[in-house]
Amino acid sequence: MKILEERIKSEGLVLPDNILKVDRFLNHQIDPKLMDQIGAEFAKLFKNDRITRILTVESSGIAPAVFAGLHLGVPVVFARKHKSLTHNSNVYSADVYSYTKQVTNQISIDERFVNANDRVLIIDDFLANGQAVLGLLKIINDAGAMACGVGIVIEKSFQDGHKLITDRGIKLESLARIKSLSGNQVTFVK
Ligand code: 5GP
């Protein structure tokens, strides 16, 4: 997605350890107009997959997921990383190791919000080593639902996540694919 690549080029900051900071439009401040375009693009890419629900992980997956849900006309559920006082105990859960924070979080989704009839699209902000997506795939599997696709805003294609997902035969669409962040430079996959 050209407009997204341009925003990454002009506003992204490369940090040590292959981390890309995009807090001007995605990870802290959010650009609703860009999110709307991202949501429309995901809807176009998954329009024939008969999606009934979108799953993501709080917090940075929520914005692109909501706009994708708006354009596809389906509800969006975000997995919680922390237990909520109002959250009941009937949850599906998975352990997810965070590449950026270097901690393991248990993510969970209330059983009422994903079920065996669902055709699920997973949306997330970044794909690095694929741990967040694998956690959501476990939850979808535990619920007896079907994982019909994964939509990623920014994929770091030099890390393991892409292969982990496509090796499972799951459709993966990433709107920007980064080949390298070396030398503080963002290079995209052609
Ligand atoms: P994974 O589970 O694929 O290893 O990592 C995905 C999660 O880690 C994303 O949801 C995102 O929150 C975070 N993440 C991984 N790499 C980056 C990065 O380069 N920049 C930012 N801002 N977040 C990242």
Ranges of residues in the chain with a pLDDT under 50 are none
Ligand 1 geometric centre to CA of 165 (Å):
15
Q: Report CA Rg, the chain.
A: 16
Supply the pLDDT for residue 85: 60
- Residue 129 marked ligand-binding: yes
Rounded mean pLDDT of the chain? 96
Decide if 52 contacts 119 (C-beta within 8 A): yes
CA distance 8 to 51: 29
- Residue 156 marked ligand-binding: yes
3-state SS class at 44: helix
Ligand 1 geometric centre to CA of 52 (Å):
25
Whether this prediction's pTM lies above 0.90 is answered by yes
Which residues line the pocket of ligand 1, CB cutoff 6 A?
A: 19-21, 27, 60, 98-100, 124-132, 156, 161
Decide if 49 contacts 149 (C-beta within 8 A): yes
Decide if 133 contacts 165 (C-beta within 8 A): yes
CA distance 29 to 112: 31
Ligand 1 geometric centre to CA of 150 (Å):
15
CATH of 2-188, one of 3.40.50.1000, 3.30.1370.160, 3.40.50.720, 3.40.50.2020: 3.40.50.2020
- Ligand 1 atom index nearest CA of 96: 2
Rounded to 5°, the CA angle 35-120-79 comes to 70
Ligand 1 geometric centre to CA of 41 (Å):
21
For 44-81, write each residue's pLDDT tens digit.
999 999 999 999 999 999 999 999 999 999 999 999 99
